[in-house]
């Protein structure tokens, strides 16, 4: 797995491996962003006019389209901001080391569940689970289930934007260090990772349909719909607090600091934008004007 693919478990981990993709009855309400848009203009007293863009970390190559308005706003900005340094060898090395565990995976589940997982890996993925017995369940889902679940050769909005930012000599800033990214996995137990990995196997077909629905909502630029889908999943509240709300709050101050210094183009996972704890609402609460860019 390449460095940038290894780094991209965050948005999908929200719905795939830290919780199942089976909807609850009812849907969580969210503050309505009023208009469908992935690109938002941020302006106000004390900051340089900047832009906030929601990405879908990996999409089918044949469906990858980077709108001209997004490129134009990146060109006009002086600083480009991303969640993580996708070119960091340190991140790749940390992930490789951190995914290992001292006990074999069969000690974390019943013999029946291990046989089920092993057979799924053999039949659906044409791999042998024997080669991955000492990989943590959360990472195992990322390595084995993730490509099959998506069902396509992916392209990355984040990587494409990073490459353009470097091509156009923008200052690059990242919101999290490799250590901070990897540390998120320490907040979930091996037992919980195991349970959710098994759920992913048992409910594979349903999860794949939900992933397709997520992508469709993204392509419609429907942030509210995407957020509602993600937060309607089982065990979503804990996941939302860990991977979305807490990180958004931590990012807010450095983002404002950067916008005070220079016009910034901020590219983060689309799920970080909507909702009561989303970046759009948090910036508005700070008194800044956040409005959709429609053309």
CA 5 to chain centre: 11
The pTM score is 0.86
The pLDDT of residue 233 is 63
Q: Strands 59-60 and 154-155: what pairing?
A: antiparallel
At residue 96 the predicted structure's pLDDT band, cuts being 50, 70 and 90, is: confident
284 has pLDDT over 50: yes
Condensed to tens digits (0 to 9), the pLDDT of residues 136-165 reads 998 888 777 776 777 767 788 998 999 999
Mean pLDDT score of the chain: 84
Residue 197 has which token pair?
A: 């990995």
The pLDDT of residue 238 is 62
78 has pLDDT over 60: yes
- CA dist 13 and 136 (Å) reads 14
Q: Domain residue spans in the chain?
A: 9-88+152-189+204-292
* Residue from 159, 13, 164 nearest 86 by CA: 159
The pLDDT of residue 234 is 56
């Amino acid at each position: 797995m390449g460095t940038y693919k290894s780094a991209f478990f965050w948005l999908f981990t929200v719905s795939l491996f830290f919780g199942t993709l089976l909807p609850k009855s009812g849907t969580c309400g969210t503050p309505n962003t009023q208009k469908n848009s992935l690109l938002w203009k941020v302006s106000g007293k004390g900051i340089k006019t900047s832009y906030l863009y929601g990405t879908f970390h990996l999409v089918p190559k044949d469906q990858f389209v980077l709108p001209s308005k997004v490129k134009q706003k990146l060109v006009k900005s002086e600083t480009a901001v991303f969640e993580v340094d996708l070119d960091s060898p340190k991140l790749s090395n940390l992930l490789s080391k951190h995914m290992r565990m001292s006990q074999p995976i069969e000690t974390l589940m019943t013999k029946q569940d291990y046989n089920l997982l092993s057979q799924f890996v053999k039949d659906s993925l044409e791999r042998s689970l024997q080669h991955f017995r000492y990989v943590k369940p959360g990472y195992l889902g990322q390595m084995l289930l993730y490509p099959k679940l998506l069902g396509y050769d992916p392209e990355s909005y984040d990587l494409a934007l990073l490459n353009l930012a470097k091509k156009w000599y923008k200052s690059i800033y990242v919101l999290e260090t490799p250590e901070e990214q990897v540390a998120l996995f320490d907040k979930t137990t091996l037992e919980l990772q195991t349970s959710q990995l098994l759920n992913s196997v048992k409910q594979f077909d349903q999860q794949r349909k939900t992933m397709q629905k997520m992508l469709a909502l993204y392509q419609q630029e429907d942030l509210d719909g995407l957020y509602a889908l993600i937060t309607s999943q089982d065990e979503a509240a804990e996941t939302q607090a860990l991977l979305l709300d807490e990180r958004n709050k931590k990012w807010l101050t450095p983002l404002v600091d950067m916008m005070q210094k220079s016009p910034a183009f901020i590219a983060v996972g689309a799920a970080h934008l909507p909702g009561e704890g989303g970046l759009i609402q948090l910036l508005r609460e700070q008194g800044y004007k956040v409005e959709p860019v429609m053309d």
